[in-house]
Amino acid sequence: MAKRNPLYDFKWCPGCGDFGVKVALEQALAGRMAEKNQSIENTVVVAGIGCSGNMVHMMEGPQPFGIHGIHGRALPIAYGIKSARPDLNVVVVCGDGDFLSIGNEHIAPQARRNLDITAVIMDNGIYGLTKGQASPTTELNVVTSTTRWGKLEEKMNPFLFYLGAGVPYITSQMSSRVKELAGDIRAAMDYPGFSIVHVQSPCTTYNDTYSLLKGDEKKGIEPLAFPIEDSHDVTDITAAADLVRGRRIPIGLLYKKAGESVPLHQRLAEAKAKGNIEQASVEKLLQSMVIA
Amino acid sequence: MSKNLVVRFAGEGGQGVVGGAELMASAAASGGYHVLTFSTFPSQIKGGPAWGQARISSEPILTPGDYLDVLVAQNQYAYDHNLEDLREGGLVVYNSEEFEVADNARALGIPADRMAREAGNPLASTIILIGAVAKMAGVSIEALEAFITKRWSRGRPGDEAIVEGNINALRMGVEVAEKAGLSLEDLDPAPAHAEPRVLIRGYEAAALGAMAGGVDSFIGYPISPATTMLVYMESNLVGKDKFVGQASSEIEAINALVGTGFAGKKVMTSTAGPGVSLMGEGLGLAWMAEIPLVVVDVQRGGPATGLPTKTEQSDLTMAMNPGHGDMSTPVIACGSTEEAFWGAMHALNWAERYQGPVLFLSEASIAERAQDIPMPDLSQVVDERRVVSKGEQGNRRYAGDGVSPFPVPGGPGAYVANASEHDEQGDTTHLPDIHVTMTERRFKKLELLNDGTYEAENTDADTVVLTWGGSKGSALAAWRELDAEGVKVGWYYTMFLNPLPAKMLEELKGKRILVPELNYMGQFAAYLRSKGLNAEAITQYTGLPFKVADLKAEIKRRVQA
C-alpha cells in the first residue's frame, strides 16, 4: 500500500535484501492466486516487528489482508487465523530477531501442530530497525552496539534448530535470487503443512554480507552460499543436518519430511468426521444438568 | 427446624473430600433442596489439606455458609484446622481409623473405610459418612436412596448390585448415627419447584453462556483455577466449524485469539492472573488493531504464582489496564452462577460491538462451586456479531470517529491490522494529528457499551453498599440482614464494571459508598474514587470469601461511625 499512501513514512535502506524478498513474495502470491483462481483477499500476510515486518505495508499490486503484529508473535497470530479459517492462505514474514530470538518459543509448537502455514524468514544477522544490535544469527566475535567485546555468544544455527524442532519443510535461499525465491515460496505454500523459507537477506547498513555470500573468485574468497546438489535426499534428516552443520549456507530445498503431511486442521476435521460428533445445543447441554 | 445445613468434608487431596461434598449436594438437590458447594484444595494431585463444603437449604443460597453444622474430618490435621469454623452445637464426624477425638461429646468416630471394605464395597466409605450426616441432620433418607438409585442406574450390567451396595452403605451410616444418638435440628422440608432447575458449576455456566453467545473458537493454556473451562470447551465445543486448542503459553493463546478475531470469528480464552499478565501486550494489540476477543480471568490469589487454588479479587486494576499505553479494557465481572452464564455471553457481544478486547472476571469461588439455579431462559440469549464490511469504505478500515464496518479476510476491504499507530488503512504512521484522531476513536467506541444494567435498593439512603464479583453473595446477604434490622443503608450492584452504567454513576454521586472486596488495595473503591465518587473499601485477603457475619458487622460499624 505504501506506494499509494503518502502518510506511510517507513523506508528500507537502498540495497536492502528485503526488496528482493518483497518482489518474490508478490510473484509467488500472484502465481498461486492465478493457479487457484482465488482473489488476493483470501491471503493473509502476518508480520512481526523489525525492518522485515514492514513487508505488509510495502507490498505493491493487489493487496492481501495483513497483520503487522507485536514483536515475536507472528506464528501465534497465524495459528489463530488458520485454525479459525483453514480456507485462507497464511504467510508469515519475520526477521531473524523476531523469529529466532523473541519468537523462538513459538517455532516448535507450530511444527508439532503442522498447520498449513508458510514462514518466510529474512535473516540479516542483525537488529536493523533498532540500529545494529546483535541477533541470534550474528557471528561470534562481531562487534555491535550490544557486543562491546565482540559477540560472546555463539551464532545460532537456525537450520539445525528447525530440524530439531520438527519443522517438516525447510528451504534455504538468498534474497538476490528473486526468481528462485519466488518459486521456493510458491512450493512452500503448496506444501500442506508448516514450511519455512529461510532467506539470507543482507542489511546494507549494519551487516552487509552480499560479498561473503557470493564470494569473490579474484580475491580467492570462497562463497558462503553453495547450491544443494540434486543428489541430496530431502527426506533424509541426517543428510540435511550434515549440509548445514558447517559455517557455509546451502541453498535450495533442504528438508521435506518423508510421508504424507497431514496438517492439524485436517486431522481435526477427520477426527470429527470419524467420531461422528455433532455440536450439542446449549439447551441440550443444560438439559443434561437438570435436577431430576 | 432449621433452614440450613452446612457440611464440610475435610481431609487430604485425593481422599474424595470435594467429591463427598458434591455428592451430598447432588443428593440434596435431587431431593428438592437448594445447594451450593465450595471447596479449597492445594495445587497438587494427591495429598495436602483439602476440603469440600456443601450448603443445603430450603431457601435460595447466596454464600457457602459462615459456619459449619457438621465437620467430617478424615485426619487429625483436618480436625484441628477446621474445628474453629464449626458452629456452637455443631457435630463432628471423624475417621476413627486415623485418629481419636477424646474430649468432644458431640463427635462421632466412624471407621468408614473399614466398614466399606468389610461390606465388600470399598468405594462406598463416603456414602457411609453421608448416611450418618443425613441421619443426624434430619435429611430424608428415602430421598437419598431415591437419588442413589437414579445416579447409579445407568443402563449398564451390574447397576443393580452397585445401587444395592450403595444403599446398604447409606443405611450403615444411618445406623451408626442412630446408635450414637447425636443429632441436630431437623432440616426444613425441601421446597417445591414449579420450574426446572439445573445443578451446574460456575465454569460450566460461563462456558455455556459463551456457547449461547456464539463462541466459535476457544484457545487456552492450562492454569488453576481456569483449566476447567478449557476442558469443558474441549469436550463440548465440537461442531464442524468450531475450534478448541491448547496453546503452548498464554502469550501464544492471546495472539492466536487476535488471529482468530481478525479472521472474523468470536473467540475466547480462559486464564488466571499470571496468564493475564503474560497477555498484556497481546491485549494491547487487540485494542490497537480493533480486534474483538474475550479473556476470561478466573481470579486466584496473587501476585506471581500466589495462591493458585484460593479465591481473591485482586486482578481488577490489571483487567482494566492490562497493557501499556492508553487503553481501557471493558470489564464484566460475574457475581453468581447465573451471572457467569449471562456475563460470558455479554462479554462476547461487547467485544463484537465495539471491536476490541473484553475482560470477563470470574474467580475461584465462583468457577469451582456447584449450585442449583433455575434453567436459564434461553429466549433471552443474544448472539451479536460485528458489522462486516461489504467493501463500502474500500481499504479505509479505520475511517471515521467510531466503530466502522469490519473487513473479514476472504471478503473485500483488505487492510493491515497494525500494532503500530496507523492511518485509516492500517499503515504505520507517527504523525501527531493521526495519533490524536486514532486514540480518540478507540476510546469513543467504548460509548457503545452503554447497556449495562444494575441493581439498586434503598436508593434514598446516604450510605450504600456497592460490591463486585464473587463478593456479591456475602455482601447481599449481609445487606439484607441489616435492612431487615432497620439499618439505613442502600444496595447497588452491577457486573458491568468498565464502563460502569452511566445512570448508576449519576445516582451514586454524593453518597458514601462502602465497597467490600477481596484484595488489600481496595481496587474497585479506588476506581470508583477516580470517577469522582466517595468510596471506601472493606477489604479481606485471606484467600477465602467474606463471612456474612463479619461483613455485616463491619458495614454496620461504618454506617454508625
Q: Where are the domains of chain B?
A: 4-180, 199-379, 387-449, 455-560
Give the residue-averaged pLDDT of A271-283.
91
CA dist A123 and B452 (Å) reads 50
Do A89 and B298 form a contact (C-beta atoms < 8 A)?
A: no
Are B428 and A54 in contact (CB < 8 Å)?
yes
Q: How far is residue B49's CA from residue B12's CA, in Å, rounded to a whole number?
A: 5
Per-residue CA distances from B363 to A11, B270, B387, B471, B557 (Å): 48, 11, 32, 10, 28
The dihedral through the CA atoms of B57, B59, B65, B69 has a sign that is negative
Tell if the CB–CB gap between A67 and B196 is shorter than 8 Å: no
A-chain CB neighbours of B289 within 8 Å are: 67, 69
Distance CA A52, CA A175 (A): 12
Nearest CB among B29, B212, B414 relative to A41 is that of B414
Q: How many helices (H) and strands (E) does chain B have?
A: 18, 21
Q: Verify cis geometry, omega within 30 degrees of 0, for the bond prior to B303.
A: yes
Instruction: For residue A76, give the nearest of B150, B255, B416 by CB distance.
Output: B255
Q: B381 to chain A: which residues are within 8 Å by CB?
A: 282
One-letter amino acid for residue A108 of the chain: A
For an interface test with B, the pick among A38, A43, A68, A117 (most B C-beta atoms closer than 10 Å) comes out as A68
Instruction: List chain B residues with CB under 8 Å of A44.
Output: 262-263, 409
Peptide bond into B225 cis (omega under 30): yes
The residues that bridge with B297 in the sheet, in sequence order, are: B271, B361
DSSP 3-state assignment of B457?
strand
Are residues B189 and B58 in contact, defined by beta-carbon separation less than 8 angstroms?
Answer: yes
Q: A79 vs B245: CB contact, 8 Å cut-off?
A: yes
According to DSSP, residue A212 is labeled H
Tracing cell 452403605 back to the chain, one arrives at B169
Helix B17-30 vs helix B141-152: crossing angle, to nearest 10: 110
In angstroms, rounded to a whole number, what is the distance separating the alpha carbons of residues B90 and B183?
Answer: 9
E-state strands within B291-411 = 293-299, 331-333, 357-363, 370-374
CATH of domain B199-379: 3.40.50.970
Q: What share of chain B is helix, strand, coil (3-state, %, to 5)?
A: 40, 20, 40
C-alpha cell of residue B489: 443503608
CA distance B403 to B292: 12
Residue A275 has pLDDT above 90, yes or no: no
Mutation pick from B262, B288, B337, B375 vs chain A, by most beta carbons of A within 10 Å, is B262
Q: Decide if A287 is inside a domain.
A: no
Verify whether the Cβ–Cβ distance B150 to A292 is below 8 Å.
Answer: yes
> Is it true that the peptide bond before A192 is cis, omega within 30 degrees of 0?
no
- By the 8 A CB rule, do B311 and B272 touch? no
Do B4-180 and B199-379 fold alike per CATH? no
Strand partners, B109: B94
Q: What is the mean pLDDT of residues A51-63?
A: 94
Q: Is A66 on the interface with B (CB under 8 A)?
A: yes
- CA neighbor of B24 nearest in space, from B41, B49, B6: B6
Q: Three-class SS of residue B396?
A: coil
What's the DSSP call for residue A100? I
Which is it for the CA torsion B215, B221, B222, B223, positive or negative?
negative
DSSP codes joined into one string, B37-59: EEEE--SSSS-SEEEEEEEEESS
Number of other residues whose CB lies within 10 A of the CB of residue B87: 15
Start-to-end CA span in chain B (Å)? 37
Distance between CA atoms of residues B317 and B301, nearest Å: 14
Q: Tell me the C-alpha distance between B481 and B54, whole Å.
A: 22
Q: How far is CA A117 from CA A87, A99, B408, B455, in A?
A: 12, 14, 19, 49
A34 interfaces chain B, CB cutoff of 8 Å? no
Instruction: For B425, list phi and psi in degrees, rounded to 5.
Output: -100, 5
ipTM of the complex: 0.97
The shortest C-alpha distance from A11 to chain B (Å) reads 11
Mutate one of B252, B266, B382 to test the A interface: name it (highest A CB count within 10 A).
B252
In 3D, which of B472, B446, B281, B266 has the Cα closest to residue B369? B472
Between A and B, how many CB-CB pairs are < 8 A? 207
User: Would you call A68 and B416 a contact, using CB atoms and an 8 Å cutoff?
Assistant: yes
B169–chain A nearest CA distance, Å:
22
B150, B251, B427: residue with CB nearest A1: B427
B-interface mutation test, from A83, A93, A276, most B Cβ less than 10 A away: A83
End-to-end CA distance of chain A: 62
Whether A88 and B395 lie within 8 Å, measured CB to CB = no
Q: For strands B34-40 and B49-57, give the pairing.
A: antiparallel
Closest CA to A221 of A230, A233, A212, A229: A212
Q: Residues near A20 by Cβ (< 8 Å), separated by ≥ 6?
A: A175, A176, A177, A178, A181, A201
pLDDT over 70 at A3, yes or no: no
pLDDT greater than 70 at residue A21: yes
> How many domains would you assign to chain A?
1
User: How confident is the prediction for chain A on average, in pLDDT?
Assistant: 95
Measured between alpha carbons, how far is residue B495 from residues A146, A166, B301, B346, B532 in Å?
Answer: 49, 46, 21, 10, 20
Q: How far is A226 from chain B (nearest CA, A)?
A: 36
Provide, for chain A, the percentages of residues in helix, strand and coil under a 3-state DSSP scheme, each rounded to the nearest 5: 40, 20, 40
Q: Which of A70, A105, A290 sits opposite B196 (nearest CB)?
A: A290
Q: Confirm or reject contact between A40 and chain B (CB < 8 A).
A: yes
**Residue A29 contacts B where some CB pair is shorter than 8 Å:** no
C-beta separation of B203 from B338 below 8 A: no
Total residue count of chain A as it appears in this document: 292
Instruction: Please tell me which of the candidates A57, A278, A289 has its beta carbon nearest to residue B200.
Output: A289
Q: Which three cell numbers stand for residue A10?
A: 517507513
Residue A105's CATH number: 3.40.50.970
Sheet containing B267-271: which strands, arranged edge to edge?
A: B243-246, B217-220, B267-271, B293-299, B357-363, B331-333, B496-498
CA distances from B34 to B57, B74, B420, B472 (A): 5, 26, 53, 18
Among chain A residues, the shortest Cα distance to B219 is held by: A80
Q: Do A84 and B263 touch (CB under 8 A)?
A: yes
What are the backbone dihedrals phi and psi of residue B218, each rounded to the nearest 5 degrees, phi first? -140, 120
A165 touches chain B (CB under 8 A): no
Residue A142, C-alpha cell as written in the block:
562481531
User: What gap in Å lies between CA B22 and CA B9, rounded to an integer?
Assistant: 10
Residue A192 lies in a domain: yes
Check the CA dihedral A18-A24-A30-A32 and report its sign.
Answer: negative
Taking the CA atoms of B21, B24, B26 and B32 in sequence, report the sign of the dihedral they define. Answer: negative
Host domain of residue A25: 2-261
Instruction: Decide if B208 contacts B346 (C-beta within 8 A).
Output: no
d(CA B338, CA B374): 9
pTM: 0.97
Average pLDDT over residues A192-217: 95
Cβ separation B267–A80 shorter than 8 A: yes
Distance CA A47, CA B428 (A): 13
Measure the CA dihedral A157/A159/A162/A164, to 10°: -70
H/E run at residue B255: helix B250-262
Q: Is the pLDDT of residue A2 over 50?
A: no
Distance CA B533, CA B96 (A): 56
Furthest CA-CA distance within chain B = 85
3-state secondary structure of B430: coil
What does the alpha-carbon distance between residue B344 and residue B359 come to, in Å, rounded to a whole number?
10
- How much is the pLDDT for A4? 65
**What is the residue-level pLDDT of chain B in tens, covering all 561 positions?**
889 999 999 998 878 888 899 999 999 999 999 999 998 877 777 778 899 999 999 999 999 999 999 999 999 999 999 999 999 999 999 999 999 998 889 999 999 999 999 888 888 999 999 999 999 999 989 999 999 999 999 899 989 999 999 999 999 999 999 999 999 999 999 999 999 999 999 999 999 999 999 999 999 999 999 999 999 999 999 999 999 999 999 999 999 999 999 999 999 999 999 999 999 999 999 999 999 999 999 999 999 999 998 999 999 999 999 999 999 999 999 999 999 999 999 999 999 999 999 999 999 999 999 999 999 999 999 999 999 999 999 999 999 989 999 999 999 999 999 999 999 999 999 899 999 999 999 999 999 999 999 999 999 999 999 999 999 999 999 999 999 999 999 999 999 999 999 999 999 999 999 999 999 999 999 999 999 999 999 999 999 999 999 999 999 999 998
Query: Which CATH number fits the domain B455-560, given the four candidates 3.40.50.920, 3.90.105.10, 2.40.50.140, 3.40.50.10490?
Result: 3.40.50.920
CB contact under 8 A, A70 and B285: yes
- The number of residues making up chain B comes to 561
Measure the CA–CA gap between B284 and B2, rounded to whole angstroms.
Answer: 53
Q: Are A84 and B260 in contact (CB under 8 A)?
A: yes
**Cα nearest neighbour of A39 on chain B:** B410
The answer to whether A276 faces chain B, any CB pair under 8 Å, is: no
Residue tagged 529474512 (cell numbers) = A122
Choose the CATH number for B4-180 among 3.40.50.720, 3.40.50.450, 3.40.920.10, 3.40.50.300: 3.40.920.10
DSSP SS3 for A157: coil
d(CA B115, CA B122): 8
CB < 8 Å from B in window 232-251 of A: none
